Amino acid sequence: MEKAEKIAEALQERYSPTIILYEKDKIEMMLERYELVVAVMAVGIVVRMLCPRLMDKWTDRPVVAVDSALSCAVPVVGGHHGANELARFLASQLGLYAAVTTATDASGRPCLEEVATRLCATVVNKESSKAVNLAFLKEEVPVLRLKGPRIVIVDEDVAVLKTRGLVVGIGARKGVSASEVLQAIDEALKETGRRREEIAILATAWLKSEEEGMLQAAGILGKEMVCLSQEALNSQAPGTPSRARDLGLNGVAEPAVLALATKLIFAKKAYGRVTVAIGE
């Protein structure tokens, strides 16, 4: 109980922990009721407890095993579905070692599940995850948007994501501050009657991938900043002219939205040194 209370206290900053003393007849209830499980016991015990109840990676409850000395946290099941993140959070709070073993994480590479989460999307063809994650180990896997109506036939190594929420396209002058970016986004959202909570992703040009103010703004909003290539931006046909043509681009904010959203709901508008367009 002492160790459980210490773990629960550490988790309170981000999670809503509940302490349950281990009993065999409570296992089913725990796996059904809670989003994540921290098992303070040996990995072997956890494996034997879970094996008869495992179905598939998309529905199995993420479980992290923590040893009784609180020296390491091992994501046993659901690494890409919350267990790795939970283990790392415990490491940051308690100083223990997060024994993350999933290949993409061990290699410092992204994974399909992480990309889907950042884009506020769900994976339609979940069976593609193995091939896509293997590809991530060797290369950058591009994210493309196909607009309908159309019929699409994909191979087994192509993941189909269904997004939800707003796409906010952003163009900005060099050296722009996070406050300028946030103020511009808020003004555009206000004009469309929308809220920050409705934003799915932010989008801009690859040229802005290291623009500190934009990255800080994305961090404050808790949203992914997708940096699109010249090819992706120039394949769009924005309705308004842009100064970005001097850089060989059709534009930034509006083409970024057109590349990722189903439709443009707010044409680009300049707010000081920041330009914003919105789509959904």
96-108 residue pLDDT tens: 999 999 999 888 8
Whether this prediction's pTM lies above 0.75 is answered by no
CA dist., res. 169 & res. 252, Å (int): 7
The one-letter code for the residue type at 217 is A
When the pLDDT of each residue in the chain is averaged and rounded to a whole number, the result is 90
Does the structure show a pLDDT above 70 at 246? no
Q: Are 197 and 222 in contact (CB under 8 A)?
A: no
Scan for tokens 């100064």, then name that residue. 243
Does the structure show a pLDDT above 70 at 212? yes
Q: Are 137 and 104 in contact (CB under 8 A)?
A: yes
Average pLDDT over residues 150-175: 89
Reported confidence tier of residue 245, pLDDT bands at 50, 70, 90: low
The one-letter code for the residue type at 48 is R
Does the structure show a pLDDT above 90 at 238? no
List the domain boundaries for the chain. 2-101, 112-162, 165-279
State pLDDT tens for residues 47-100. 999 999 999 888 899 999 999 999 999 999 999 999 999 999 999 999 999 999
Cβ partners under 8 Å of residue 84, min gap 6: 75, 98, 100, 102, 105
- Give pLDDT, residue 15: 93
Does the structure show a pLDDT above 70 at 253? yes
Reported confidence tier of residue 131, pLDDT bands at 50, 70, 90: very high
CA angle 51, 53, 59 (to 5 degrees): 115
- Give pLDDT, residue 186: 97
- Give pLDDT, residue 150: 82
- Give pLDDT, residue 229: 86
Average pLDDT over residues 226-243: 82
- Give pLDDT, residue 230: 86
Average pLDDT over residues 167-191: 96
The CATH number, out of the four listed (3.40.50.720, 3.30.420.180, 3.30.420.40, 3.40.640.10), of the domain defined by the range 165-279: 3.30.420.180
Does the structure show a pLDDT above 70 at 138? yes
In the CATH hierarchy, which fold is given to the domain comprising 2-101? Rossmann fold (3.40.50)
- Give pLDDT, residue 26: 84
